[in-house]
Structure 1
Amino acid sequence: HRRVHTGERPYLCPQCGETFMLSSHLLVHQRSHTGERPHACEECGKSFATRHGLLHHRRSHSGEKPYECGVCG
């Protein structure tokens, strides 16, 4: 948590030089270079680099819309 305050970013991507506060963020970033997409949709097979991407995609199958527009509903 201290890195949030100090700005320390000790994890360096060897391919592009981008730095990260957390090693897990570096690992996810490295997928942008390798093309790895380990999170696959069980319903249609589409794959995603992040679990969040998969969870967001699943809504396209369920029709779930967790956010509502303040103007049009």
Structure 2
Amino acid sequence: HTGEKLFPCADCGKSFTTSSSYIRHQLIHSGEKPYSCADCGKSFRQRIHLTQHHCTHTAEQPTLWGR
């Protein structure tokens, strides 16, 4: 856990400390949005964003994610 950024992006030069962060970042360049809403078809790059969006189709109040 040195904080060293060992995963550089060949497309833009940005570097990441974890491979999972690097892989998530690659979705920006590919345009891929693998998480789709079953109700309206809107797509998202990250599952958490789909989960937050789902609240727009229900009576649920969104929570303060990550707080």
Is the structural similarity TM-score above 0.5? yes
User: Any gaps of 5 or more consecutive residues in structure 1?
Assistant: 69-73
Q: Taking structure 1 as the reference length, what is the TM-score of the superposition?
A: 0.79
**Structural RMSD (CA):** 1.5
Identity %: 42
Distance in 2, matches of 1:63 and 1:24, equals 33
Q: Taking structure 2 as the reference length, what is the TM-score of the superposition?
A: 0.85
Distance in 2, matches of 1:14 and 1:45, equals 31
State how many pairs are aligned: 64
User: Any gaps of 5 or more consecutive residues in structure 2?
Assistant: none
Distance in 2, matches of 1:19 and 1:32, equals 14
* Aligned mate of 1:39, from 35, 42, 45: 35
Residues 5-56 of structure 1 show CA distances to partners (whole Å, capped at 9, x for unaligned) of: x221101111001111111111111111111000001111110000111111
